[in-house]
Amino acid sequence: MKIYLATCGSFDKILKKNFDEVRILTSYFYMNKSKPLIKKDYTVEQFLDSGAFSAWSKKEEIDIDKYADYIKKNIGTIDHYANLDIIGDAEATSKNQKYLESVGLHPMPVFHYNEPFEALKALLDNYEYIALGGMVPITTGRLIPWLNEVFHLVCDEEGNATRKIHGFGMTTTTIIKRYPWYSVDSISPFYGAGFGRIYDEAGELDLSRNTGHVDLATRLYLEKNRQNFKFEELKEDYKQRIIYNIQFFLRLEKELTETPPKFKHLQQKLWQ
């Protein structure tokens, strides 16, 4: 199991000072495209996402030829890169996949929430590593039935994935633990920290000053379980929250690598 931290250069100093090896996902949409994509000392793997979801949410377009040129210029520092997918248009996404392949690239194909499952079956027949996208705005209650269908197609009878599956924007730890992902990416360690949130084995804890107080149970939990962090620093300093959050996601990555979950097929649940 691999967890990529979806980040940008603004957190470079925090990562460099506190971590030796992390996996980074970078968005082409947001980056300074005039500069080369450098692989930092602390980056063990670098994933380039097209940023299609961000472009779609802002009603902007990404030039596929410029995207292809950027990948080619920086291929030495990119371990994985995704197709320029089009949210809500499986046919256009497939067209972009084929175009990028025609110019000598091998992008990771993307299957989106609510697209026909026939499209996923075609990808499973032709690719070893497939990304799932369009999940960010979907509630957990709606996402789980869809993911059940996805992994029913992906997994063998023993519940093991027969293909590598990446989850874009996968921030819900219960869902990360529920399925045999090969990799996911999350912005939560950074974004959540900015809003006073921390993540660990107990789930999501809100330390935001906007709430007016932090409940006693949360405070006692932190003081007991995370001795190397001072409670007041976590509450007041977003940088400390970022470090705390990343440490948790690294522990989660290690846990799921050592003991990967098996998918329980829908039919089996009737008898268990």
Q: Do the bridges between strand 22-27 and strand 43-49 make them parallel or antiparallel, or are there none, so unpaired?
A: parallel
Q: How does pLDDT run along the chain (272 residues), one tens digit per residue?
A: 999 999 866 788 999 999 999 999 999 999 888 888 988 889 999 999 999 888 888 889 999 999 999 999 999 999 999 999 998 899 999 999 999 999 999 999 999 999 999 999 999 999 999 999 999 889 999 999 999 999 999 999 999 999 999 999 998 899 999 999 999 999 999 999 999 999 988 788 888 755 545 565 666 566 666 657 887 888 889 999 999 999 999 999 999 999 999 998 765 443 33
| Consecutive H or E run containing 110 | strand 110-112
Spatial neighbors of 98 by CB under 8 A, at least 6 apart, are: none
Q: Which two tokens stand for residue 69?
A: 């040129």
Residue 106 exposed, middle or buried by CB count within 10 Å (0-12, 13-18, 19+): middle
Q: What is the CA radius of gyration of the chain?
A: 19
CB atoms closer than 10 angstroms to residue 53: 22
CA 233 vs. chain centroid, Å, equals: 27
The amino acid sitting at 76 is G
- Which pTM value belongs to this model? 0.90
Alpha-carbon span 38 to 57, nearest angstrom: 27
CB contact at 8 A, 175 and 168: no
